[in-house]
Structure 1
């Protein structure tokens, strides 16, 4: 299957950021034909059948990049992951779990929008099992812990189910931050008649840039720049609601505003 220029660019950026087991894991995920076929089909259902935004290979790569960035910022601030605080693994192990969840969280869109996070869990389970056996061939206990964390991240990414680990909390926010206008480009072209979910694509189409960087008061600063005020829907109804349910909320600064106007601080 041919990768788009955007996918190839994201692949290079992801691989450049990693080493050790996270790098090995990323190399497998990014080249796995079964995963890509499932992501592509989920995207077809999302865009062509349902009229929603991108939920395919590009989206899941963006979410993975967001998650890696957040994990690094938390580590730099001295924040331990759940796996570290429970003395069951190190930062790289937690990063592997987060990467698995971020890359597989929307597989369930191939079945439908409703409860897609639940569908994603059983579709992702055998893939997670297969890949972890490759990356951690001699460590059954570590594979079980990482598999459970990844499933928690997947099932919790819509903020409909309570999550408890820091790792799963990262997924919520990393997913919510993928709302720049490029994500709405295809459904804007394909769908002209009003449909349920239109507000998502129109609001996403007004988001010019989402930045994740070191905060001034807290470890992570998220800034959302938009061209029109309809973008506040994405911030307030999608991103802010996910942050509110995330275990990472205490470490987040959130700013949003129309370009050229005043930035509003939410957190």
Structure 2
């Protein structure tokens, strides 16, 4: 399958750059998987056209992958072991596989409905993982089983409605919350024809110019939210911060936000 948009193609290349070595070839196959892509595309159709929400499709899911892999690498460089490695049931590479697949699968349940979509995503992901996990693990049933269990935790935990415990799931939770730049609300804003309850999510997202994930000064990860108007603080305080506050990765994250040109506020 060819890339459906230049944006997806660019993001695929960035993802593969973060998955070097033996992970690149199977990851490239997953990124080109037709069934997965159709789930992602239809999830976006349901989200934007039927429900009037923001992007929950292939671009969003790839953004979550990029965010999660970036944070995982920052933790690793800072000497923090992710849960699979710390518990001696996997390696850092296994955690990267988990984050990669969780990010691509976490919102496919939106192809059905919004309410409870995280659990629907886990259900729809099961047969996909039957095909995909052997690409990474061959006949290593133990490694594939542990990866599947952790992916399921990541997927059902990304709404912060189910308590999670692994750093892997905590990173997906934060990575999802970090996708709130104005581009995510572009299509819903164009399609909007009138006021409706909940529009604050679109308008506040449109105020967020840039999310930066980089090495922190005191902690391994620093997240900075740059916005053009104060309405963007809604996204920080009502979307990102609650997810960060529920994440097992919270102790390793600094969070800053502010209007471009003004002093930054530190939340964590």
Query: SS state of the match for residue 54, structure 2?
Result: coil
Question: Partner of 2:254 in structure 1?
Answer: 253
* Matched positions, count: 267
Query: SS state of the match for residue 231, structure 1?
Result: helix
TM-aligned CA deviation for residue 261 of structure 1: 1.1
Cα offsets for 1:79-133 (capped at 9, x unmatched) = 1111111111110001101111111100011111111111111011111221001
Cα distance in 2 for residues equivalent to 1:163 and 1:132: 22
Dislocated runs of 4+, deviation >4 Å = none
Query: SS state of the match for residue 260, structure 1?
Result: coil
Query: SS state of the match for residue 15, structure 2?
Result: helix
Cα offsets for 1:202-242 (capped at 9, x unmatched) = 11100000000000000000000001111111100110000
Cα distance in 2 for residues equivalent to 1:46 and 1:22: 31
Cα offsets for 1:21-77 (capped at 9, x unmatched) = 432342122100001110000000000011111000100111100011000000001
Question: Partner of 1:178 in structure 2?
Answer: 179
Question: Partner of 2:76 in structure 1?
Answer: 75
Question: Partner of 1:208 in structure 2?
Answer: 209
Query: SS state of the match for residue 210, structure 2?
Result: strand
Please list every run of 5 or more consecutive structure 1 residues that lacks an aligned counterpart in the other structure.
none
TM-aligned CA deviation for residue 266 of structure 1: 0.1
TM-aligned CA deviation for residue 169 of structure 1: 0.4
Question: Partner of 1:37 in structure 2?
Answer: 38
* Farther-moved stretch of structure 1 (116-125 vs 11-20): 11-20
The reply on whether 1:93 has 2:94 as its aligned counterpart is: yes
Cα distance in 2 for residues equivalent to 1:195 and 1:249: 34
Contact conserved, 1:51 with 1:198, CA < 8 A, in 2?
Answer: no
* Normalised TM-score (structure 2): 0.97
Cα distance in 1 for residues equivalent to 2:173 and 2:183: 20
The reply on whether 1:16 has 2:22 as its aligned counterpart is: no
The reply on whether 1:48 has 2:73 as its aligned counterpart is: no
Cα distance in 2 for residues equivalent to 1:195 and 1:53: 14
Cα distance in 2 for residues equivalent to 1:51 and 1:250: 35
Query: SS state of the match for residue 70, structure 1?
Result: helix
TM-aligned CA deviation for residue 137 of structure 1: 1.0
Contact conserved, 1:100 with 1:150, CA < 8 A, in 2?
Answer: yes
Please list every run of 5 or more consecutive structure 2 residues that lacks an aligned counterpart in the other structure.
none
Cα distance in 2 for residues equivalent to 1:158 and 1:243: 11
Cα distance in 2 for residues equivalent to 1:247 and 1:25: 29
Cα distance in 1 for residues equivalent to 2:70 and 2:94: 16
Contact conserved, 1:51 with 1:197, CA < 8 A, in 2?
Answer: no
Structural RMSD (CA):
1.0
Contact conserved, 1:94 with 1:167, CA < 8 A, in 2?
Answer: yes
Question: Partner of 2:228 in structure 1?
Answer: 227
Cα distance in 2 for residues equivalent to 1:117 and 1:68: 20
* Farther-moved stretch of structure 1 (6-15 vs 194-203): 194-203
Question: Partner of 1:191 in structure 2?
Answer: 192
